[in-house]
Amino acid sequence: MQNKINPTKSMTYGFMQQSRKVLIKLVEVSLLAVGITACGGGNDAPIDPIEPNPTKPSPLKLELLTGASTVNLEQCEEPMNGPVETARFNRLMRATVYQDAIYLAETGEGCENTVYNQLWVRPGEIGASRILQLSNGTVETTLELGGAVTTMGRPTAVRFPSGFARSAGSPTGVVLSYSAANSDKDFTADMDWMQRYSEWNNQGWKMFPPGLFNFRGDLPGSHDLVAGRTGELPALIDGSGLEAGFVAPHDLEVDVQGLFYLIDDGRIRTIDNDYNVKTLDSVALGITAKIKALDADHQGRIHALTKQAQGQYTWHRLADGSSVNFTVPSPVEGDTLTAETFTIIDDAILISVRESTPYSSSRIFHVSAKGEVTAMTGTQTASTEQDFLDNSAQYLLPAIQHIEYGVDGHLYLVLPQGVLIDRDYSVMSK
């Protein structure tokens, strides 16, 4: 395919020629559980206000970075590492971008041909969950998830990873996990999915509690559940470490002081360096609508996206309490928008939305600091992959799971089984 990347230069990170971004005080969004220096609210540091300068977006210039743009969960492929051109994935959820590498959370959720061994998926099999590293044109497994350790006397493991953050100077770190919820249904607790919370084999029960796991390496026994309850039904409970309860945490972000932010059961929650879990007061944050997504900008400030009504959203800046209201049209007239994800780019955001049908097509919109909305993609259905790669302004895109503007200056669109990239996305003054 003519727009596929050159593997020798495709994964070169930390482009210093991004002189426009030299003003950004980069705080690697990886000041994680091991070595976090802050606790409490995390927003006590002086904040440089985001100036509402009028901007216009540059057109998208997309390439297929790795995997496939199509979706086939009826026959998920066996996980395949190696060069980005040939790597294959089960079901991707989210990307975490650093200057030297990208990390992908692969859940395997929804794979209908999942291989079970003694009732649970073994690492390395179809449907298994992993944390993957993309660097220097190669995909490698950083963490094989699903292997059990003993927590409070019970075998405990990650079921579905919904976020990853790296320890400074190390490929290991923390993984946020959910189990008894469907990500395509806003991570709402689902009794039909409760069998994914725990499983029985001839050795006893194995638990998959929602919560935060600390990984010290990719060896048996090298990870621990550090926030969350095992052996209890999912519940929203504040507290310290294993006393805290989660429902289906997702959208893991880290602020400038190293405080974790996440969404759980429709609320914003934080986890500090001592693994104290706190549910924030939405009203105090100026939030009165459904919380859909979180993002941290390159200065370590947390932003939230809420949905007021069909197509009506609010972008909240938690650092200063300001907000921007805007409206986007549905990809299909009369359909319901769902699976919203957004990312901060300077003083604007990009939001991806798609209709309610699972793995349906997505549209991307640029929203300025004044709430001005510009459609970045079209409404026509592409006949081939090359159609939307060559002319995204005309066509719908595949189902976007996560959109992320990386600290390396690239825009990443995570698909169920692949990743698209725009290597030089920017906004320009009018």
Please check the confidence at residue 26 and state whether its pLDDT lies above 50.
Answer: no
User: Average pLDDT for residues 48-64, to the nearest whole number?
Assistant: 71
Q: Mean pLDDT for the chain?
A: 81
In this predicted model, what pLDDT tens digit does every residue of 373-395 receive, in sequence order? 999 999 999 999 999 999 999 99
Please check the confidence at residue 291 and state whether its pLDDT lies above 70.
Answer: yes
Please check the confidence at residue 285 and state whether its pLDDT lies above 60.
Answer: yes
> Which of 244, 187, 212 minimizes the C-alpha distance to 36?
212
Per DSSP, helices labelled H in 287-407 are 385-390
In this predicted model, what pLDDT tens digit does every residue of 64-108 receive, in sequence order? 999 999 888 776 767 789 999 999 998 899 999 999 999 999 998
Higher-pLDDT residue of 282 and 50 is 282
Token code pair at residue 86:
């040939």
Please check the confidence at residue 407 and state whether its pLDDT lies above 90.
Answer: yes
**CA dist., res. 26 & res. 366, Å (int):** 23
pTM above threshold 0.75: yes
CB neighbours of residue 56 within 10 Å: 13
pLDDT confidence of residue 153: 66
- Secondary structure (3-state) at 162: strand
State which amino acid sits at residue 387: D
Please check the confidence at residue 112 and state whether its pLDDT lies above 90.
Answer: no
Please check the confidence at residue 24 and state whether its pLDDT lies above 90.
Answer: no
pLDDT confidence of residue 330: 67
**CA dist., res. 398 & res. 416, Å (int):** 9
Distances (CA, A) of 65 to 9, 11, 187, 325, 343: 11, 9, 27, 33, 19
pLDDT confidence of residue 261: 98
**CA dist., res. 161 & res. 261, Å (int):** 15
**CA dist., res. 373 & res. 377, Å (int):** 12
Residue 365 half-sphere exposure, CB side, CA atoms within 13 Å? Answer: 21
In this predicted model, what pLDDT tens digit does every residue of 140-161 receive, in sequence order? 998 888 766 666 667 788 889 9
**Considering only the top CATH level, what class is 19-38+53-429?**
mainly beta
Locate the domains of the chain by residue range.
19-38+53-429
Please say whether the beta carbons of 340 and 313 come within 8 A: yes
Distances (CA, A) of 336 to 72, 132, 186, 330, 417: 23, 32, 13, 7, 24
